[in-house]
Structure 1
Amino acid sequence: MRSYGVNVKNARRLHNALVQKFGLEVRIPVTDFVHMEGPHTVTIPYLKPSDLFETVLLKEPWLLLGGSADANSQQLLQTFWRCYEKEHPDHEVFLHGRDRLDRTVPVTLHGDGGRTQKKQPLEIFSMQPVLGLNSRSTNESNQCCCETSELFGGDNPGDPLAQHINSKHNSYLTHFLIFAYPSKKYKDFKGLLLALLERACSDLGTLCATGVTGFDKEKWYPACVGFKLDMEWMAKSGSLTRSYQNVGETKEHACCHECDAGMPGVPFENVNADAEWIPTRFNTVPWRVEPPWKNNPFDTARPAKFLRRDAFHIYRLGILRNFIGSCIYLLVYMECFTVQGESNAMAKCLERAWGNLMLFCNVQNLRVDGVRGFTVLNLHASKGAFPWLGCKGSDSIVLLKWLIFLARLHLSDAAGLSVQNQQVLSWIVKGAKAGLSFSQGIHGHGLWLRGSCVKFLRNASQQFGASYAHLAAYCLRKNWTFFGMVPKLHASMHFRTELDDSLQENREWTLNPACFDNSMSEDFIGRVARQSRRISFKNVERTILSSYKVKLQFEVKDFKRRRGQ
């Protein structure tokens, strides 16, 4: 039915009218950012962190406070900061006095790229509370899978084990979008991303100092504990002079933003617990120009610590894919997929390896979604390159389980194996088991780890690094280009070193590395990108923010309905 005087061809206008009339979006004001480069000017809409924080704190404060906003919320925050002070005593949040810590909400920042219409890159920046929505919503307790199992969960606001990682439920409930824009559309504005980041981080820094009045008429404050992002976004958003992009093939270059690894005499390939790079951590800053988050209060002694390592990209989408691809090729070279009387060309052996994986998945009721088969192309092993498998993060876990099964199957027939091949297969088993223990183990805990869990994860990280190094050394002696010593292997060893710090200091509680894991953030990036592909590309930056606010409103209502709130 058509109403008189309404142009049904303008769907965007009709949509906006309906949204405003029925209040279908979270009412967060949109602010325009004006950026100039030379004679050109561009205006980008964004949601100020201060407006986001104030609106959520007034309307739905439970999103920031672990799933429930009541009289015990302040005790929950006090418990968090009491544990975090042992972890990071130099954070500037402790300079403001203890009396406001119980009203200071820990948050992280996240940035990454997605794909909008016509496969154009989309820059997306958001803010995420640290406390998971399950921290105050359930009495259930869970048990970790470490050697000394620990219970975590419950609803006691004074117990650190009750605090959960913010990685459950719909990602629109755990991330708050600040801006999203197609970078190719503004290719003439090279400094736009850094300028937008500086404006948003400066606003957040001011908010950390001044606070806002919340739902209980008291002042509440945010405090940022880190910027979690992958290596690519880390390098371009921080204009880093030391990053994975600086790895030299003929000359040594510093390639880690946290330490001097890669410089002469400081090999980044060393995975031992006494590696030369360990004492050099945070000795210098990895930038020449002040980064865009310079006005965000953090740590003046170790400002580079603000850039947090992302276990998802370092392990599941990083070094595990190198490990898996090299293991597949190594098993082919060890004739684990040869058949007498038939062609044993590389393509045929890879085809048999894929069939073996599919049989394993059928028996174990598992699935691999991101790979259609094993080929030289998707293993990236052409022209003597170090192989790695282009698979999804969830696929990495399934493939590690398959490698454990396959290597153990061949080890069970030890009579037909040389001593050297038995050793190689045992390294594959140990490396795959350790990779599973760490990458799955961090998600099998709450926000805070007991000492026994820290020791378990530390040993898993060290065992994976040692197995990878042993296999790399073996292949080097054989003159096989497998198990490349890449920067993500070095980055994974930083997890071990941080866990070593906790054990040496005998901390009662240690912050879980999964606090800065981006697996849920990747889901958020995908959802925002999909929304951007379903709307008009005209004024897409403003329309994305409007669509996000509508979606957030519906997700909040649905979540409250399911919770009976």
Structure 2
Amino acid sequence: MTVETVFGQQQPEPEPNVPDAKCQAQDYVEPHKDRASRGLAEVYARCRAFDCIRFELPARSHLTGFVLLHASSTIERLFDDHAPMVFKIGFTHNPAFRWANSRYGYAHDPYDRWDAMVILYLASNPHGPAMLESALIDKYGRRPGCRNINRGGDGVKVPAKAVVRTARNVLSDIGPQAAASSKGLKRLAECSLSNAERDAQTLLSKKMKLSLPIPLETLGQGKLNFPVLRLRSWAQFLLDRNLWHILCGLLSPDTDREKAILRGFWAEFQRHSPQHPVFELGLPLEDTVPMVFHGDEGRGRRRQGWLATNYHSIIGRGIQAALDKDAREKKRGRYVKLRCNYIGHSLTNRFGHAGLPKAVYSDPEIFKAVLEDAASEALFMTEHGVFNPRMGTRYMIILNVVGDWSWLHKAGGLSRTYHNMEKAGAKAKAKPKAAAKAKKSKPPKEPVGICHLCRAGQKDVPFEDIYSRQPLWLRTMFQQQPWIAPPSFARLHHPVGEEASIFAFDIFHAFHLGVGKTHVSSCLAMLSDVTAGSNIDLRFEALNAEWKSFKTGLFQPKLTPEFIGWESRSDFPSGSWHKGQLTTDLMRFLEHKFEQTDLSGDIMLQKAAEGTCAINQCLRLLYENDSVFLQPDLARSIAEHGLQFLRRYSFLAKRAHDTEKSLWGLIPKVHAVHHVLVKLLQDAEDGRPSLHPLCFGVQQDEDYVGRPSRLSRRVSSRLVSTRVLQRYLQDAYAKYVSSNLIVPS
């Protein structure tokens, strides 16, 4: 348990009658003491390295009430000695790391200059410090200078059995008469310890209504007996609770405005894609919400995969960068606003569908059943919709399936993906005799191709011609089906002959976690060669010092050859990080670095600088303009900057190849980026609005995927899918309440 402080005056010397902090701490941690803890001893040893971390602890035998009294009196004394002061109350597993780490440590806080950390309490489990934190924040959270935002204790998770046992203990302590004022305490104490999770879920969800009323349905019988949340159930809930405005990007219900927004969307969509069959279905488009379906794999128990799928509306409340720009320019809001869906909590604007561990969804039959259920629900909502006596009938239509390329490959059963890319390196390493023998035995297979939309990667249709505004693959769009058997989602409504267009590329994964990483890593490798230093480690140390001083964000890992995936000069740098924001930060750093460096003697660095500036401007325009439909002039500007980057990238890849340098590898994701940019340019030249590429971006969905994935690590593995969806609905209920979307009963 810690209190971090910024003192308003110099810290006085301790009074003679105050016991020495080290002696108090040693009562907890020295091996010869009773009930000593090895873990606490390690914590104490690390903290001794910092003069600004000190211990003021109660005696080990003190009860809970005395611990709270001790902590309160210590904080009051700090106020008496140092007021005015800035302070924060919290608990941590590693005080030394929390103080000193370069990512988010108090010693490196860019806003408050913290002077000291006072440790008030040590324990070998987190539950006592969590309750103490909550009690102290409740008491001191309103004092001037407090930096606490949350109420405390929210970081600790316990099993349902522990909750039931605690409820029984409290009930026995205070008695039934005092417990009668609590509506749930007595009923929680009556839950069975042997089936605590089941009984607690029944109590919280069904009796106390502390969960969203979305029923769990099953995929089928036997091996398909797994739960899902159906789209029609979500739609009925949103309609009955007057929450349809969430799907239209509004903060509060407004039926007329909701209808106007949906009419505006479909009017623009008809200009964008007049051949889409949605306009032949006879639907009331002012009551029809455009949706997408997303899937991805998170990390579950023991680092095993966890499949999380969800639906969400294309229309939302915007992108933060665009809202900030509008605020700076003092733009007035519009009645009919069509913005991308990036603002708000993922528990309120993403609607869960399924959650399965890898051991389950690796079964093709089960995985197919999940996709079949999602597609069937999409068709039901398009053909039948949901009805409410006050609101009428409302519909949804799934326009696209989105996610990273791996997910598109699995969900579509695609036979043409990045998996089919020819690996020239493997051919070069083959033994000459073996290669000659193989050549005589049978002719080489024709390359299958890497793209489900076109024939790029096949013979005479290179995907590497990213320098072209009219690549050869453009004439091969939708010529061949990208699957052996049609997937479930091929039943969704789509333009005739363009079933593959249902599966949309995601610019976030294609660039920030693909081409951008390769470009950044290659630039850093090139810069290291022109940086002062007698060896590569010293040169990267110099680059790292500049990177740290740039201060782009809280997460700034050290720049090393291993970090950029360049352990030897024969390796193509590809980046070892998995955070898209880090690619953005490094791209900005590179632009700054290139501006400060004389590049006149190196044509490759000149082209790298031009490409970096071009793609930064392209992404800046994308994120600062969050309208669902981009008008032709803006779409053309975005496409031109992006294509300029690809031309520079192509030049650098060829020059590196010609000079025998392993830099700027032509990975398959360059083709995905090329597709997105050429589509924008085509729409602009035809004079029609473009559907914003970020409508298919998945940053917000990545946040959603992490939530059930973490829940899967905290529940029993026996009924993991059921327990995860139950707890997800409880978490979502709490977020709906805190967001003032529903009023608790």
TM-score, normalised relative to structure 1: 0.88
Matched ranges for 1:217-232 at <5 A: 217-232=391-406
Give the Å deviation of 1:536. Answer: 2.6
1:381 CA displacement = 4.7
* Residue from 461, 485, 488 that aligns with 1:289: 485
User: What displacement does 1:305 show?
Assistant: 0.6
The structure 1 residue matched to 2:541, chosen from 351, 354, 367, is: 351
User: 2:494·2:502 contact (CA, 8 Å) conserved in 1?
Assistant: yes
Distance in 1 separating the partners of 2:575 and 2:313: 33
d(CA) in 2 for partners of 1:196, 1:72? 35
Quote the residue 1:404 is aligned against: 591
Q: 1:245: Cα distance to partner?
A: 0.7
Instruction: Decide whether the 8 Å contact of 1:141 with 1:152 is kept in 2.
Output: no
Shift of 1:104: 0.7
Shift of 1:478: 1.0
Cα separation, 2, equivalents of 1:192 and 1:525: 19
Structure 2: distance between partners of 1:175 and 1:256 = 28
Distance 1:76 1:128 in 2: 16
Q: Which amino acid aligns with 1:66?
A: G
Q: Give the letter aligned to residue 109 of structure 1.
A: F
**1:74 aligned partner:** 259
CA–CA distance in structure 2, aligned partners of residues 409 and 241 of structure 1: 47
- Which residue matches 2:642? 461
Alpha-carbon distance in 2 for matches of 1:375, 1:26: 49
Q: Aligned partners of 2:409 and 2:461: how far apart in 1?
A: 21
The alpha-carbon deviation at position 382 of structure 1 amounts to: 4.5
Whole-angstrom distance in 2 between the partners of 1:207 and 1:102: 15
Q: Is 1:63 the equivalent of 2:259?
A: no
CA distance in 1, matches of 2:461, 2:194: 64
SS in 2 for 1:283: coil
TM-superposed CA distance for 1:283, in Å, is 1.9
> Residues 450, 300 of structure 1: CA spacing in aligned structure 2 closer, same or farther, 3 A cutoff?
closer
Give the 3-state SS of the residue equivalent to 2:364 in structure 1: coil
Q: Does 1:104 align with 2:284?
A: no
What is aligned with 1:156?
335
> How far does the alpha carbon of each residue in 1:271-314 deviate from its partner, in whole angstroms, 9 at most, with x for none?
11121111111222211111121332223321111001101101
Q: Indicate whether 1:394 and 2:573 are aligned.
A: no
| Structure 1 position 370, deviation (Å) | 6.8
Partner of 1:315: 511
Which one has a bigger Cα radius of gyration? 2
Match of 1:254 in 2: 449
1:308 is paired with a residue of what secondary structure? coil
Matched, 1:482 2:655: no
Residue 356 (structure 2) pairs with residue 181 (structure 1): yes
Instruction: Indicate the residue corresponding to 1:504 in structure 2.
Output: 685
* Structure 2 SS opposite 1:224: strand
Aligned-partner SS, 2:311: strand
Check 1:315–1:44 CA distance in 2 against 1; reply closer, same or farther (3 A cut).
Answer: same
Say which SS state the counterpart of residue 180 (structure 1) adopts: strand
The answer on whether the counterparts of 2:452 and 2:481 sit within 8 Å (CA) in structure 1 is: yes
Change in Cα spacing, 1:472 to 1:383, as seen in structure 2 (3 Å) is closer
1:297-336 to structure 2, matched below 5 A, reads 297-332=493-528, 335-336=529-530
Q: Which amino acid aligns with 1:221?
A: Y
Q: Provide the residue aligned with 1:49 in structure 2.
A: 231
Post-superposition Cα deviations, 1:224-255, rounded to whole Å, max 9, x if no partner, equal 11111111111112111111111012464411
**Shift in Å, 1:134:** 5.8
Equivalent position of 1:268 in the other structure = 463
On the 8 A contact 1:131/1:164 being kept in 2, the answer is yes
Q: 1:275 to 1:381 in 2, by over 3 A?
A: farther
- Cα distance, 1:350–1:544 mapped onto 2, change above 3 Å: same
* 2:532 counterpart letter in structure 1: T
Q: Which amino acid is 2:230 matched to?
A: K
**Once the 2 structures are TM-superposed, how far is the Cα of residue 166 of structure 1 from its aligned partner?**
0.5
Residue of structure 2 in register with 1:20 after alignment: 206
CA distance in structure 1 between the aligned counterparts of 2:390 and 2:662, rounded to whole angstroms: 62
Equivalent pair of 1:315/1:439 in contact (CA under 8 Å): no
**Residue pair 1:403, 1:428 contacting (<8 A) in 2 also:** no
C-alpha displacement of 1:426 = 2.2
The one-character-per-residue Cα deviations of 1:391-414 (angstroms, maximum 9, x if unpaired) are: 211111111111112222222xx6
Tell me the distance in 2 between the aligned counterparts of 1:556 and 1:69.
Answer: 18
Matches within 5 A, 1:123-138: 123-133=307-317
Cα displacement (A) at 1:155: 3.6
Asked if structure 2 preserves the Cα contact closer than 8 Å seen for 1:77 and 1:102, the reply is yes
Describe the SS at the equivalent of 2:256.
coil
2:474 to 278, 302, 319: 278
Shift of 1:325: 0.8
> How many Å apart are 1:199 and its aligned residue?
1.9
Task: Provide the rounded CA distance (Å) in 1 between the counterparts of 2:221 and 2:657.
Answer: 51
1:482 shift after superposition: 0.6
RMSD: 2.5
Moved more, 371-380 or 444-453: 371-380
Which of 71, 76, 94 matches 2:279? 94
Cα distance change, pair 326–35 in 1 and its aligned pair in 2 (3 A): farther
Q: Indicate whether 1:202 and 2:387 are aligned.
A: no
In structure 2, C-alpha distance between the alignment counterparts of 1:27 and 1:495, rounded to whole Å? 39
- Which whole-Å deviations, capped at 9, do the CAs of 1:59-100 have from their partners, x for residues lacking one? 222222222342221111111000011212222211113x61
TM-score normalised to structure 2 length: 0.67
1:165 CA drift (Å): 0.6
Report the more deviating stretch, 367-376 or 239-248.
367-376
The whole-number CA distance in structure 2 between the counterparts of 1:368 and 1:487 is 31
Letter in 2 for 1:379: G
The amino acid across from 2:335 in the alignment is: N
Question: Separation in 1 of the partners of 2:593 and 2:635?
Answer: 30
1:469–1:35 distance in 2 versus 1, CA, 3 Å: farther
Q: How far, CA to CA, are the matches of 1:398 and 1:377 in structure 2?
A: 15
Find the counterpart in structure 2 of residue 113 from structure 1: 297
How far apart, CA to CA, are the structure 2 residues paired with 1:14 and 1:382? 58
Given the superposition, is the C-alpha separation of residues 169 and 209 from structure 1 closer, same or farther in structure 2, using an over 3 Å criterion?
same
CA distance in 1, matches of 2:559, 2:359: 33
User: Which amino acid is 1:44 matched to?
Assistant: F
Which residue of the other structure, out of 531, 534, 537, is the alignment partner of 1:337? 531
| Residues in 1 aligned to 2:213 and 2:714: alpha-carbon distance in whole angstroms | 22
Q: Which residue of 1 aligns with 2:723?
A: 543
Change (3 A) 1:377 1:79: closer
Ranked by relative contact order (alpha carbons within 8 Å, sequence separation 6 or more), the top structure is: 1
Q: Report deviation, 1:18.
A: 2.4
Shift of 1:168: 0.6
Q: Which residue of 1 aligns with 2:739?
A: 559
Q: Deviations over 1:397-452 (max 9, x none)?
A: 111111112222222xx6xx52xx0x322212221122222233222112222222
Residues 55 and 526 from structure 1, CA distance in 2 versus in 1: closer, same or farther, beyond 3 angstroms?
Answer: same
CA distance in 2, matches of 1:479, 1:95: 56
- Contact 2:572–2:663 (Cα < 8 Å) also in 1: yes
Match of 2:429 in 1: none
Deviation of residue 519 (structure 1)? 0.8
Letter in 2 for 1:103: D
Identify the residue that residue 83 of structure 2 maps to in structure 1. Answer: none
Please state whether the residue corresponding to 1:528 is helix, strand or coil: helix
Which amino acid in structure 2 is aligned with residue 376 of structure 1? E
CA distance 1:374–1:141, shift in 2 (3 Å): closer
The sequence identity of aligned pairs, in percent, is 23
Q: Deviations over 1:527-558 (max 9, x none)?
A: 22122222232311011111111111111121
Shift of the 529–447 alpha-carbon distance from structure 1 to 2, 3 Å rule, reads same
CA distance in 1, matches of 2:400, 2:192: 48
Q: 1:141 to 1:487 in 2, by over 3 A?
A: closer
**Which residue in the other structure is 2:142 paired with?**
none
Distance across 2 between alignment mates of 1:193 and 1:80? 33
- Structure 2 residue runs of 5 or longer lacking an equivalent are 1-166, 169-185, 425-445
Q: SS of 2:248's equivalent?
A: coil
